[in-house]
Amino acid sequence: MECVVRPCRAEDCVEVMRMIRELAEFEKLPDQVQINDQVLREDGFANDPFYRCLVAEVPPEYRSRDGHTIVGYGLYFFTYSTWKGRNIYMEDLYIMPEFRGIDLEENRMNLGSPGICTPNYAGKGIGKKLMSKIAEIGVENRCIEMKFVVLDWNQAAIDFYQSQGAVDLTAAEGWHFFHFKGDALVRLAQGQTGL
């Protein structure tokens, strides 16, 4: 089966937004999605884009059960460190469940259980192809590391990333992920915090 990994175009935003919602559903946090395809389009295709995105596309004869030919995406951007210079950060990596566990080299489909990356075929599918392309872009842009976050209960994803050489820095070094949002962000901007 052919699968093309290519840059997302403005008109792909509707499909990417569909998959963003599917991923949030899977991560058991669907109520947290607050943007729509119009916002995604504005923020990704203006003069100063906030992100970049790749999509995985299959030919029409391999379209999904619901008729989609865009079956995965990888969204990323660049960050910076005064210690290490430019970094690449993978915000989302998603493949529709019916397109996981595929061995692109041997052209076999749905090996093992759908949605599970079986050990023998880890690293031969669409997820690997997308992630490798993001890594290649990172290397081309002189990045020396790629970071991303994973939910600690998402064992299939953890197994996949670790099989490719990623290190869990939360487990290994105790790194934690903090954020300011909503009222807390406004209070910070107004200097009205607890200090």
Partner 1 sequence: IMNCIIRPCTVKDCKVILQLIKALGQMTGSDVCVSFPGPALREDGFGAQPMYDCYVAELPSGQNSKKGDSIVGYVLSTYTYSTWKGRNVYIDNLYVRPEFRGMAGQQIGKQLMKKTAEVALKKGCSQIRMHVARWKENENRFLTCCGSENLTAKEGWNLFRFEEDTLWRLAAHN
Catalytic residues: 161
Query: Of 11 and 152, which CB lies nearer to partner 1 in the complex structure?
Result: 152
Query: Of 80 and 114, which CB lies nearer to partner 1 in the complex structure?
Result: 80
Asked if residues 73 and 92 have their Cβ atoms less than 8 Å apart, the reply is: yes
The rounded Cα 183 to chain-centroid distance in angstroms is 28
What minimum distance in Å lies between the beta carbon of 56 and partner 1? 13
What minimum distance in Å lies between the beta carbon of 80 and partner 1? 4
Coil, strand or helix: which one is 88?
Answer: strand
Phi/psi for 94 (5° steps) reads: -145, 135
Q: Exposed, middle or buried: residue 48 (CB in 10 Å: 0-12, 13-18, 19+)?
A: exposed
Of 192, 73, 90, which is closest to residue 137 (Cα–Cα)?
90
Phi-psi group of 105: left, alpha or beta (phi > 0 → left; psi -120 to 50 → alpha; rest → beta) = alpha
Query: Of 11 and 136, which CB lies nearer to partner 1 in the complex structure?
Result: 136
What minimum distance in Å lies between the beta carbon of 20 and partner 1? 5
Q: What is the distance between the alpha carbons of residues 172 and 58, in angstroms, rounded to a whole number? A: 38
Query: Of 114 and 180, which CB lies nearer to partner 1 in the complex structure?
Result: 180
Q: Which residue has the tokens 């020396």?
A: 144
